[in-house]
Amino acid sequence: MSTAGIGVVGVGEALLRLTPAGGEILETAGAYTVHVGGAEANVCANLAGLGIRTAWLSRLPANPLGRRIAAAFGGVGVDVRFVRWAPEGRVGLMFVQPAASPRSGEVLYYRLDSAFARIDPDEVAWEVLDGASVVHLTGITPALGTGPRRLVARAIAEARRRDVRVSFDVNYRATLWSPSTACETLEPLMRGLDLVFLNDRDAVGVFGADGDAEAVAATLRRRFDCATLVLTLGADGALAHDGTARRQAAYEGQIVDRIGRGDAFAAGFLYGYLRGDMEAALRYGAAMATLKQTYPGDICRATPAEIDAVIEGRAAGFRR
């Protein structure tokens, strides 16, 4: 299979996300809205919408639910030809009970022993990395078991062998493992990478780095020995440190669905990063994160023109 022209390759699991319909809660819902999502695949889908050729490496069961996931990402332009198909097994599920202030939201995962959790790194079509610019990974995958943990380490090794840059989003999930286990596992994987993303909560909770954002970013960049560290700060925007610290304010926007904002930020940042423009990377990341929360589901379906409109401060309204 030809891999010519593929710019970004994501490696990881995708899930079916089920959310109670009509404002119901998980305990009483009789119907659910179904979306497809997975951190690495979301980034690929978001970049595909911006015209970047992307591919996704994963493992799915050869059943209707596995095909549904592949079709969803293939349908938005992600190359899914390199997904491994398992003769048996199941997809992971994520049940989401949205927050309604003052009630907190809740996420329940059912992904233990999924088809992806049984992935064998030796079966992966690593040739997809030939000629790629970036491989994108997250800290979710190593939390899913021995095979996925080996997969991430292998992906980094295969990328380095081909001189492909590695992007890594910590993406800590408290329901999957403890902060201490995450720190012990992730830090060796992140050492010496090209690009590391994490949010200010994980900087404190997982790596014990607290204080002024610029100082935290500089400290963690040295600690991980990464070329660029990006620290997202919620409503306070984001900061990128590659030897020089750059800040970007968040853009305001209505919230329809919070899930996937971090993946949208990572995709927007990568869009600018691939062009060698760190300030544009921050602007695109912030704009895509804001636009993502206006769409239901995990994928940011904004066009480049809509992203530019946010960056340029052009008012939203109806096009007639």
Buried b (16+ CB within 10 A) or exposed e, 15-25: bbbbbbeeeee
User: Among 169, 200, 263, 298, which one carries the catalytic annotation?
Assistant: 263
175 Cβ neighbours under 8 A, 6+ residues apart: 107, 108, 109
Tokens 């020089």 map to which residue? 244
- The one-letter code for the residue type at 238 is A
Give the separation between CA 216 and CA 218, rounded to whole angstroms: 5
Q: Could you give the CA distance from residue 62 to residue 69 in angstroms, rounded to a whole number?
A: 11
If we measure between CA atoms, which residue out of 176, 175, 223, 161 comes closest to residue 198? 223
Find how far residue 142's CA is from the centre of its chain.
Answer: 14
CB 202 within 8 A of CB 234: no
Q: Known catalytic residue: 163?
A: no
Q: Which residues are catalytic?
A: 263
